[in-house]
Amino acid sequence: MELLDRIFGTHDTVAGYAMALVAVAEAEGVTRKVEDELYAFAKATDQNPDLRQALTDQALPVDNRQALVRDIIGDRAHPVTVHLISFVIESGHARDLSKIADAFVRIAATSREHAVAEVRTAVPLSDKQRERLEKALSKATGRTVEAKVIVDPTVVGGVIARVDDLVFDGSVSSRLEDAKHALGS
């Protein structure tokens, strides 16, 4: 509870679920893997209204919604990730999946004394690119930063990274806008 109070200022349902999911992932020794997969799935759900609707539709049986998760990520994700997402759906908190994933990431990073950067790119990053980005963001913020990458087709090129309230916009559209202002247009 101390960790929850330190991160969130109070203990709430989302934080409680996130803490429970972190505890399961830690017990299984797969926290980082589950963290990345849960975060990616939650953000993909946010970007896909049909998927979000299917997972949150109380008129659909829970078994059907859980089967949908298994169909989508069952072969690509760690079984613990699939199980935890299924648990969230079964418990009636599918609408909070994104908030729970965000809280999971913050709790896990805080326990490692790291900061989290939400990074949006038009294309997936290689492990090497991700490491270089994490080093650059760590240097810029003075804190050890872990990048959570979201592939976002609205990012024309480059990256947009957010660490707490700091935004680093290295996107092509941002650079074009800067050039436009520099030219006085």
Q: Are 110 and 7 spatial neighbours (Cβ–Cβ below 8 Å)?
A: yes
* Structure-token match 């270089």, residue found: 132
Residue 95 confidence (pLDDT): 95
Give the pair of three-digit tokens for residue 156: 């024309």
CA distance 147 to 143: 12
Residues lower than pLDDT 50 in the chain? 1, 4-5, 7-8, 10
Closest CA to 106 of 151, 39, 11, 48: 39
Report the b/e string of 119-130 with b at 16+ CB within 10 A: bbbeeebeeeeb
Helix (H, G, I), strand (E, B) or coil at 160: strand
pLDDT at 3: 52
Beta bridge mates, 169: 160
> Closest by alpha carbon to 33, among 76, 3, 2, 67?
76
CA gyration radius for the chain?
A: 18
* Rounded Cα distance, 2 and 185, in Å: 53
Element of type H or E holding 60? none
CB atoms within 10 A of CB 143: 14
- What integer pLDDT is reported at residue 166 of this predicted model? 86
Model pTM above 0.85: no
How do residues 143-178 score in pLDDT, each as one tens digit? 999 999 988 888 878 888 999 888 888 776 656 666
